[in-house]
Amino acid sequence: MKLDPTKMKDWEIAEAAEANMRPFAQLAEQLGLKDDELIPMGKHVGRVNFLRASRRLKDAPKGKYVDVTAITPTPLGEGKTTTSMGLIQGLGKIGKSVAGAIRQPSGGPTFNIKGSAAGGGLAQCIPLTDFSIRLTGDIDSITNAHNLAMVALTSRMQHERNYDDARLAKSGLKRLDIDPHRVEMKWAIDFCAQALRNITIGQGGKMDGFEMASGFQITVSSEIMAILAVAKDLKDMRERMAKIIVAYDKQGGAITTADLEVDGAMTAWMVDALNPNLLQTLEGQPVFVHAGPFANIAIGQSSIIADELGVRLSDYLVTESGFGADIGFEKFWNLKCRFSGIAPDAVVVTATIRALKMHGGGPKVSPGIPLDEVYTKENLGLLETGCENLIAHIETVAKSGVRPVVCINSFYTDTKAEIALVKRIAEEHGALCAVSDHWLKGGDGAIELAEAVISACNEKTDFRFLYELETPLRDRIELIARNVYGADGVTYSDKALEKAKMFESDPESARLGTCMVKTHLSLSHDPDVKGRPKGWTLPISDILIYKGAGFIVPVAGAIKLMPGTCSNPAFRKIDVDVETGKVKGLF
């Protein structure tokens, strides 16, 4: 059956391709994994036993390491995962040993606006349903581990209210004196459920819990997801799990999961999730799927564990960072690479002609409304103005000492003059540039991109971090704001300033990484400002601490840890064929 993305929906292409998928055992053999390193979860999906595989491979040489990022996202889409899959397939087409490492999609976006994040057209990760819904249960494990911490906290608060010190001592407990107004965690659910952002719990009598304000966050924003992304092994995960700050006591001291004696049980939920999942591209290249998305409120990277395996099992490992280079790549660069000790050999910046036109001042795009003709007809002036956004991301990557490769993710409406303009601008600013037609042609359409990436990987790099851990927190924030976002400076709310001073005075906190929280829809803190904004300052409204993950988390602007569901969500189009049990309508 010929797969034609101009006539078939993504889920139809995936379903047709799944008939010829490589069995999990064959995929693992292709990577060089041993039988005792495999955990099959069906014919085509499984996990890799990280502990066994990593011990065997600890001295194996490392292949080339490639990160895929993008310009600032627009509703038109840039196709970052599609580009990742296309690049993997393109490298495979020219005979390279290649693997991928991408993030597992969240149920929230999958059933809301974004869709499954498996790629698109002839550049996808399959099997699509497994990838998009449940997979092997990692997100469920994170949900349960996270909520177990909240169970431990709220039950402890109830017992401390109801019992005196002598009664607590009989249960082996001492009074923690938790401040109900300084609870740092919320409950977790992996849907976009705005009605649960702010709730009151514990209503009823004294046996019905401690009554207080609470709420929910989406699971993939949990600190436990960040821990899964950065943990190097089970011992490291166990130590990090004990450091999660759940609340503060009435004297201002931190209450951790270890204080609640729930850290061990939380880790027990996560043991299996430490083993990365193994899936494949439409063309049969292996793809590790591990950890989750949301780089605007979390780290937004595939796991260090998956990347460590991938670079030792293949000549090229293609990983992916969430959103634009200002958010995803910056965290890849200054957090993930610092924690992993693996430096990239090349970085791909994905862009589309039509998205650049929007950054140049093109009209607003809304779902369900036909595109303005400016996005489908040649407009060099609008495009050139929009390329300022691309230049900003090229410059961000270049500051890491790695050669950027701009991928023009091709659409049939792109003209030769428009492509030539973007190529010229990219090359004038130090990037290699390639046009890729992977959505339409799969690996065959990505050969030019693959060759550009190989060329960049063969160049000498001078990888360096934007800041050192000795750099004071506010100086780091200033460096990121000015050098990555293009701000003129930083301002702080009274609360944020107080916390910044507190963290800077604590030697342990002062050396944690800096994980910025900012909108992904703009280089600035304002999601409505496109292009490359000038003459603005970054407002820091709050600063959080994810001590288990190893982050100080400055919050810029109004970011919600629980997204909302739109009026026309994707779940309206998803259904099941009752004869075959196959899911249809995913995109």
3-class SS of residue 497: helix
Instruction: Read off φ and ψ for residue 183, nearest 5 degrees.
Output: -85, 125
131 is catalytic: no
Distance, in Å, from the CA atom of 257 to the CA atom of 262, rounded to the nearest integer, reads: 6
A 10 A CB-CB count for 34 gives 12
3-class SS of residue 26: helix
439 is catalytic: yes
Q: Annotated catalytic residue: which of 216, 323, 332, 339?
A: 323
Q: For residue 59, what are its two tokens?
A: 């001295």
Q: Shortest CA distance to 431 belongs to which of 398, 387, 464, 396?
A: 398
Q: Annotated catalytic residue: which of 47, 64, 96, 114?
A: 114
3-class SS of residue 104: coil
323 is catalytic: yes
Q: Annotated catalytic residue: which of 295, 431, 446, 481?
A: 295
Distance, in Å, from the CA atom of 312 to the CA atom of 60, rounded to the nearest integer, reads: 6
| DSSP string computed for 425-444 | HHHHTT-EEEEE-HHHHGGG
The DSSP symbol for 136 reads T
The DSSP symbol for 138 reads H
503 is catalytic: no
Element housing 183 (H / E): strand 178-183
Distance, in Å, from the CA atom of 101 to the CA atom of 114, rounded to the nearest integer, reads: 20
Contacts of 217 (CB under 8 A, 6+ apart): 186, 187, 188, 561, 562
Q: Annotated catalytic residue: which of 47, 80, 441, 530?
A: 80
| DSSP string computed for 148-171 | HHHHHHHHHHHHHHHS-HHHHHHT
Q: Annotated catalytic residue: which of 72, 74, 82, 154?
A: 82
| DSSP string computed for 498-555 | HHHHHHHHSHHHHTSEE--B--SSSSSS-TT--S---S-EEEEEEEEEETTTTEEEEE
Distance, in Å, from the CA atom of 276 to the CA atom of 503, rounded to the nearest integer, reads: 34
Q: Shortest CA distance to 336 belongs to which of 478, 463, 507?
A: 463
Residues constituting the chain? 587
Q: How far, CA to CA in Å, does 177 sit from each of 43, 169, 180, 250, 558?
A: 52, 14, 9, 6, 31
Distance, in Å, from the CA atom of 388 to the CA atom of 235, rounded to the nearest integer, reads: 45
Q: For residue 300, what are its two tokens?
A: 């937004």
Contacts of 312 (CB under 8 A, 6+ apart): 57, 60, 61, 62, 63
Question: b/e per residue, 502-526, with b = 16+ CB within 10 A?
Answer: ebeeeeebeebbbbbbbbbbbbbbb
Q: Annotated catalytic residue: which of 411, 503, 536, 551?
A: 411
Q: Annotated catalytic residue: which of 50, 216, 294, 439?
A: 439
What is the CA 25 to chain-centroid distance, rounded?
28
357 is catalytic: no
Q: Annotated catalytic residue: which of 47, 93, 103, 243?
A: 103
269 is catalytic: no
Catalytic residues: 80, 82, 103, 114, 295, 323, 411, 439
